[in-house]
Amino acid sequence: MLSSPSSGLLFIFAWIYPSHALYFHIGETEKKCFIEEIPDETMVIGKYRTQLWDKQTSSFLPSTPGLGMHVEIKDPDTKIILSRQYGSDGRFTFTSHTPGEHQICLHSNSTKMALFAGGKLRVHLDIQVGEHTNNYPEIAAKDKLTELQLRVRQLLDQVEQIQKEQNYQRYREERFRMTSESTNQRVLWWSIAQTLILIITGIWQMKHLKSFFEAKKLV
């Protein structure tokens, strides 16, 4: 977990987990960002709820409905794929179209921050990725699936998600290999350039010394 005092941004680098929940504190005009590594064509569902710090009871209480949260999501190319204002409790959904690090940012509605001037806001965030975004009881009721059919459906979804993650790992390996090859090639050319510079310098020094000795009639 890294924190930047100047910008107030918080970055949490996380590997792909099926589902994970956390909470954090946020202040006025403060922005919290999370980075998720997500395969392509993968659905992500985020749910959050806010609690307001109450000085009288010295505890966090449910927030007022007027307090909003703005959610902004960027893909690995820093293209905004979601930017929307929500209430004190909310749910957002997006599907990745490019594999890589997606940035999920939340910040409070600054026009309502006077409600807790000098206080704190606690945000509980739950992120679900891949097949764990599916509501299987609802799917079973809608499609009238038996318990065995539902289990097969779950296994198929899990296999599909595993294939996506394997493809993403291959994509990362390919990028790493290309970066390594590019670095090795640059090092090789730099070594060749250094060698040529040394040879040219040596030849120039030899000619210069020869001219000097000839001028002094030492040879």
State percent of the chain over pLDDT 70.
Answer: 81
Query: Domain spans of the chain?
Result: 21-133, 135-218
pLDDT-derived band at 193 (thresholds 50, 70, 90) equals very high
Residue 20's pLDDT is what? 63
**Phi, psi for residue 134 in degrees, rounded to 5:** -80, 140
**Contact assessment for residue 122 and residue 24, using Cβ atoms and an 8 Å cutoff:** yes
Alpha carbon distance 124, 129 (integer Å): 17
Residue 40: enclosing H or E segment and its boundaries? none
Alpha carbon distance 180, 191 (integer Å): 16
Joined together, the tokens standing for residue 143 give 């499609």
Alpha carbon distance 165, 7 (integer Å): 33
Residue-wise pLDDT for 119-132, tens only, equals 678 889 988 887 66
**Contact assessment for residue 41 and residue 96, using Cβ atoms and an 8 Å cutoff:** yes
User: How would you write 4-35 as a 3-class SS string?
Assistant: ECCCCEEECEECCCCEEEEEEEECCCCEEEEE
Alpha carbon distance 60, 204 (integer Å): 78
- pLDDT (mean) for 30-57: 85
CATH class in words for 21-133: mainly beta
- The predicted model scores a pTM of 0.62
Residue-wise pLDDT for 11-25, tens only, equals 333 333 455 678 888
